[in-house]
Amino acid sequence: MPIEKILIVDDEPLILHFLKETLSRKKYQVEGAENGKEAFQLLKKNSYDLVITDLRMADSSGLEVLRKTKEISPSTLVILMTAYGTIDNAVEAMRLGAFNYLLKPFSPDALEVMINQAEEHASLIRENTFLKEEISQTKYTTTMIAESPIMKKIMKEAIQIAKSQASVLIEGESGTGKEVIAGLIHAHSLRVQKPYVRVNCAAIPDTLMESEFFGHEKGAFTGALIKKPGRFELAEGGTLLLDEVTEIPLALQPKLLRAIQEREFERVGGTRSLSVNVRLIATTNRDIKEAISKKIFRDDLYYRLNVIPFHLPPLRERREDILPLAHYFLDKFCAENRKKEKKISPEAEKKLLAYPWPGNIRELANIIERVVVLDLGSTVESDALKMD
């Protein structure tokens, strides 16, 4: 993720002006402070990706600026500049959380190299944080139980197209396994080592959805106390799953279309365009063409997402999958709940096959899990299957 906003702190006006001019020409947003007190005021009002501060100043030291920066904004990187480079100063600066140390005099090229290193470091830190906090919650499975010819065909095609960069649209009723197919595509793609980020469009309030997608700047709206990256940034290099895409507000769809077409966007409250490289997978349980006819979904966005379409049939139309799925869930939930292995009686199997499954695979999983948790014996009998 790029470093955009930089604060320079130096009590020598010539050096401060030189650094501001040098970095401004590199298209960074640069602000300057002539002393620590001024720097502290700016840090309280604004968010910065990087602070570059002189070590020795009349009113305060660069170490004090470093401490205050980390106190106010722990994620902001700090580079210290000094003509009095000592091992002790360097060790103390690193101990307090400085990113690096620049000895004066230094060239603009040396400064640019260090800022590039800081960008790489910031990107790794954010990606690692996201991988720990976000991806742990955005789990995906590649386990697809399929004995029916139609599902075997869909799985084969999903794996075949996985290594392309094309957008994918997966349609189907709730509970048919749309997210499983999306996870299968990511797992077999060239992006498998990069983030897999899911946005549940139906669960996000309309007023927050733009910020959720594209992030926001500090102060962009009430409650925006810090700069926050959106899901597009967090998915950089990887796959972004837009779950229930037809729930995206019509007013936001043009911005989403632009992000997909031009691979760039602005954060809420921001003015700088950010580049993005993500693979889009969208799912919907609605008739998307009906949504277009009702003017609640843009047709140009539909065509952009629908490069490679998949339609998952409901479970009642692929009955060959019912029993394999039931046995898979039975084994799975027995293991998870530390129960002894169970079997399904022939009468229970007949009941499973005869049921229309309006809730599809999700409903089947719930029914089997309920049987396991209630622990009604070593064999699942027909009367134990409580179907709505």
26 Cβ neighbours under 8 A, 6+ residues apart: 112
Percent of the chain with pLDDT over 70: 92
Task: State the distance between the two ends of the chain, measured CA to CA, in whole angstroms.
Answer: 49
Give Rg (Cα) of the chain.
27
Is the Cβ–Cβ distance between 382 and 350 less than 8 Å? yes
- What is the number of other CB atoms lying within 10 angstroms of the CB of residue 236? 21
The owner of tokens 């096959």 is 353
Please list, residue by residue across 65-85, b when 16 or more beta carbons sit within 10 angstroms of its beta carbon and e when fewer do.
bbebbbeebeebbbbbbbeee
Residue 69 predicted with pLDDT over 60? yes
d(CA 23, CA 111): 9
pTM for the full model?
Answer: 0.70
> What are the tens digits of pLDDT across the range 6-56?
999 998 899 999 999 999 988 899 999 998 889 999 998 888 999 999 888
Q: For the purposes of burial, counting CB atoms within 10 Å of the CB of 204, is it exposed (0-12), middle (13-18) or buried (19 or more)?
A: middle
Q: Give per-residue pLDDT as tens, 128-156.
A: 555 555 544 455 666 788 999 999 999 99
Q: Are 190 and 163 in contact (CB under 8 A)?
A: yes
Give the largest CA-CA distance in the chain: 88
More confident: 225 or 277: 277
Which residues make Cβ contacts (< 8 Å) with residue 349, sequence separation at least 6? 323, 326
Instruction: For domain 5-121, give the fold.
Output: Rossmann fold (3.40.50)
Written out in words, the top-level CATH class of the domain with range 149-313 is: alpha beta
Distances (CA, A) of 264 to 104, 220, 256, 377, 387: 37, 19, 10, 57, 48
Each residue of 348-366: pLDDT tens digit? 999 999 999 999 999 999 9
Give backbone dihedrals phi and psi of 285, rounded to 5 degrees, phi first.
-105, 5
Q: Note whether 5-121 and 317-384 share their fold.
A: no
Count CA within 13 A, CB hemisphere, residue 330: 23
- pLDDT classification of 228: cutoffs 50, 70, 90: confident
Can you give the residue ranges of every domain in the chain?
5-121, 149-313, 317-384
Q: What CATH code would you report for 317-384?
A: 1.10.8.60
With bands split at pLDDT 50, 70 and 90, how would you rate the model's confidence at 242? very high
Q: Which residue has the tokens 């090229």?
A: 109
